[in-house]
Structure 1
Amino acid sequence: MGEPIKTYEMPEVTNQRAFQIYEVQGKTIQNKTYPHETTRPHRHKYYEVCVFVNGAGRHEIDFETHLIHSNSVHFLSPGQVHLISRENDYHGYLMVFSRDFYALEANHEDLLFQMPFFNNPTLVPILNLSPADFRELHELIVQIRKEYLQWNGFTSDILRNYLQIFLIKCKQYYLRYFAEQNKTMDPHFALVQQFNALVEQQFKCIHQVQDYAHMMGLSAANLNKHVRNITGYTAGEIILDRLMLQAKRFLIYTDLSSKQIAYQLNYQDPSYFSRIFKKKTGFSPSEFRRVENEKYQH
């Protein structure tokens, strides 16, 4: 069985700061205040932004493996399962912050859900930049790190504003790099983001497209049309993919049986859940658990 997945809170340092930044060189994080070992996939209750100056290694995010490239930024939302495997010549920064830190004013929490790379299962949370575009973000990160290291009574407010500028610049680049292939400039993109946020909040209990459409004041047909236009998937496929992702997490990071997982996900017929899982992944739940756990035996 897989050991239960570890979920980490914000690192605890002096003043219980809800924003922290670490510079990382080489294979491991040398800073003693960083909260956890990273030899197995894990997740956080906070947001994390990984800035890769010199990319070397790979990054697993929710069972998908991505090579780490130089001049790139990876974004992690609360609850996402990930593991970074670094090589010796790796150089980068980890910036972590709580939702409350960014949402000091109520409307700022909404802004996090408007960022295409956060809380969005249909888009890749990775931004690979040209050296010229990355230089601007790198300069911001260096300034953020400098401000962080001289912490005083003004630092929280300064960092919050720097963070907002950094994320908005990332959004600008993300839309520029992916506008055509992901239709992020489509006027209905925000509506699809709203749907994704609702699915993230309700998927365990609500499986039907028409229920989400009702919550959004739309017909199921219109919701499906807009979701398919933006993502290439139907609304039902996105709901099912989110359910299957959660099933994978349960299989690898808990000792729950397939039957128990089915009930956790509001499937009243465990055999139906197993058939759907095999159709989507090519493995039965028990086969998937065995194959994935073999990756981390050593």
Structure 2
Amino acid sequence: MQIHIDTIHPQKQPHPEDYPLYQIFLLPGPMEVAVDFISYHTTSASLLFLSPYQHLEWKTPTIQPVVQILFHGDFYCIEYHKKEVACNGLLFNNIYLRPFVNVSASVYDEIVHLVNNMKRELTTHSSFSTSVLKAYLQLILALSSKAKKQQVDMDLLTDNMEMQEGESFQQLLEEHFATTRSVSFYAGILNLSIDTFSRKIKRQLGKLPSTLIQERVILEAKKLLHLTYLSIKEIALKLHFEDEHYFSRYFKKYVGISPSEFRLQVGISIVAAK
């Protein structure tokens, strides 16, 4: 089975293992977590979404247990998966958005109910179990996406007047991330000094521009490793690295494993289903 549900205790394990799987955590109340060493504060019941090999740390471990759903990317709907691993996915693999969504008590309870149904289904071993589990997972993702879209729209209304440089940088980064990894390049286009540019982007997007550049390159590398049969050398060339060895070192520095290991663990069988 390519899906597993567990109950974990953050207080006992503040530094959980990095998994080659997608993960959803049901957080029952306000918490502070760090994802890829960047801290985030939830303000209510929420859901946290991690992509393969993202690093998680419980900064304020709660004594309350947390439900964890782990699944392989090929487990759920192919078209939904392709959309969600794109750079503009709402839940997974979006370097510009917070990795969690706050939800109302009613939505949280509804998702808990769906997870409990999934747990029961996992014990039946019916020939229909995979289809039923996929349907439950799709519904959880749909409810989460709806809540996340509402949250994003509200944030845009609140921050619209203060996000000019951040929005411009996002557009520029999407155009040039494969060819240019220099902060000075983007600062220059926006007619800002590097210090001013870095300060504005950190305030508006929550991360330094150097971090966002690195994350965008790694995101694209992960997508190409997961969803294509391009060789490591071809991916390195596509992302304008000097050679595949430099690309492999860069990838391992930020992900923790080599590109070939990532491809082996995360899988690319989804391509065959086109």
Shorter-normalised TM-score: what interval? Answer: 0.5 to 0.7
Report the equivalent of 1:23.
Answer: 7
Report the equivalent of 2:121.
Answer: 147
More displaced 10-residue stretch of structure 1: 38-47 or 122-131: 38-47
1:129 to 99, 103, 113: 103
Counterparts of 1:162 and 1:193, CA distance in 2: 34
- What is the root-mean-square deviation of aligned Cα atoms in Å? 4.2
Counterparts of 1:43 and 1:180, CA distance in 2: 32
Counterparts of 2:108 and 2:39, CA distance in 1: 22
Asked if the contact 1:58/1:85 (under 8 Å) is kept, the reply is: yes
Counterparts of 1:62 and 1:265, CA distance in 2: 24
Q: Give per-residue Cα distances to partners, 1:229-254, cap 9 Å, x unaligned.
A: xxx67xxx86x43345599xxxxxxx
TM-score, normalised to structure 1, is 0.51
Report % sequence identity.
Answer: 19
1:70–1:91 distance in 2 versus 1, CA, 3 Å: farther
TM-score, normalised to structure 2, is 0.55
Counterparts of 2:171 and 2:8, CA distance in 1: 35
The letter for the 2-side match of 1:52 is: L
1:41–1:87 distance in 2 versus 1, CA, 3 Å: closer
Task: State the 1:101 CA deviation.
Answer: 0.9
Report the equivalent of 2:81.
Answer: 109
1:98–1:208 distance in 2 versus 1, CA, 3 Å: same
Q: Give per-residue Cα distances to partners, 1:5-38, cap 9 Å, x unaligned.
A: xxxxxxxxxxxx211111235734xxxxxxxxx5
Asked if the contact 1:62/1:245 (under 8 Å) is kept, the reply is: no
Counterparts of 1:108 and 1:175, CA distance in 2: 16
Task: State the 1:86 CA deviation.
Answer: 6.6
1:194–1:135 distance in 2 versus 1, CA, 3 Å: farther
Counterparts of 1:44 and 1:69, CA distance in 2: 26
Asked if the contact 1:44/1:78 (under 8 Å) is kept, the reply is: yes
Counterparts of 2:25 and 2:17, CA distance in 1: 15
Structure 2 residues without counterparts, runs of 5 or longer: 158-168, 183-188, 191-203, 218-238, 244-274
Report the equivalent of 2:54.
Answer: 80
Counterparts of 1:48 and 1:170, CA distance in 2: 13
Report the equivalent of 2:18.
Answer: 43
